Amino acid sequence: MTKTILITGATSGFGRASARRFAAGGWRVIGTGRRADRLKELAEELGDVFLPLEVDMRDPEALGDLARLSAPWGDIDLLLNNAGLAPPTTPLPETEWSKLDQIIETNVTGLVALTRVLIPKLVERKGQIINLSSVAANYPYKGGAVYAGTKAFVRQFSLDLRCDLEGTGVRVTSVEPGMAETEFTLVRTGGDQSASDALYSNMNPMTAEDHAELFWWLANLPPHLNINSIELMPVNQSWAGFAVHRE
Ligand code: NDP
Ligand code: 8X3
């Protein structure tokens, strides 16, 4: 039977690569995002197996509509909670509140709201939830407080949700990636392509396709197996240790 995945943030990066991967694997794909032109392009590329829906994660009504789709699109087997973004790494008091609020609303409030309304469907179908957290949830870095805070929320939310879903057969995974070259840094820096290029230069970052393969692997594991959390980095990324301030 054809399975259905709902991917939030399918207009770029991990989400777009996953839409391509799951469509190629024979799944029905619902892809959301704010950029209608990108959704249209993907729909032209993927054809009838793709349902493009312009949805802002900060719009609770639009998220509610996703839980009211009729069959076959409404028969969602996998929710890929991928839409997300980061504010600049400027010190907290110097970062515009509207930017921080947007991150919290998208990465946390929208993700929880969508998951909440889709749980009955996912329980019905013994489905699966994959949530995009980050290594930022696990290791602090300067300028990361709000972004990392949202991703730590996503990680813990995922683990706790497993307790709530005990006995339902629904699987939940927190995915915690390090550096992957997508539009993530372009968005974080307010469109500074040279800053993005510099960050990923000569370090062989992970790719969107690496992540699509990971999600595909998670989706195709035997149903009795739950990967609780999975952390991944490019080989050239590791840790820099503690900062010590001396008087
Ligand atoms: P991209 O910037 O390439 O893609 C982000 C996606 O999120 C876009 O499709 C964008 O769509 C969507 N999005 C952002 N805000 C909203 C919103 N308000 N409503 C709807 N959709 C929204 O980044 P990545 O693919 O790299 O990021 C995907 C996820 O992975 C994010 O949650 C990110 O935090 C996480 N992550 C990324 C890492 C990296 O190094 N790249 C590392 C660790 C985690 P649109 O703009 O069209 O709305
Ligand atoms: C972003 C991961 O390593 O670029 O979630 O901060 S990193």
Give residues with Cβ within 8 angstroms of 110, minimum separation 6. 8, 57, 58, 63, 83
The average confidence (pLDDT) of the chain is: 98
User: Does 147 participate in catalysis according to the annotation?
Assistant: yes
pLDDT at 24: 98
Residue spans per domain, the chain: 4-231
Distance, CA 134 to ligand 2 centroid (Å)?
6
pLDDT, tens only, 181-215: 999 999 999 999 999 999 999 999 999 999 999 99
> In the CATH scheme, what is the homologous superfamily, with its name and number, of domain 4-231?
NAD(P)-binding Rossmann-like Domain (3.40.50.720)
Selection from 114, 120, 132, 117 nearest residue 172 by Cα:
132
pLDDT at 53: 98
Q: Of the residues 11, 30, 56, 158, which should be mutated to test ligand 1's pocket, given the most ligand atoms within 8 Å of the CB?
A: 11
pLDDT, tens only, 66-76: 999 999 999 99
Q: pLDDT over 90 for what percent of the chain?
A: 100
Distance, CA 11 to ligand 2 centroid (Å)?
19
Which spans in the chain are helix H?
A: 13-24, 36-46, 60-66, 97-104, 111-124, 145-164, 184-188, 193-200, 208-219
Selection from 104, 100, 105, 106 nearest residue 87 by Cα:
100
DSSP code at position 79:
E
Does the model's ipTM exceed the 0.95 cut? Answer: yes
Q: Is 178 in the pocket of ligand 2 (CB under 6 A)?
A: yes
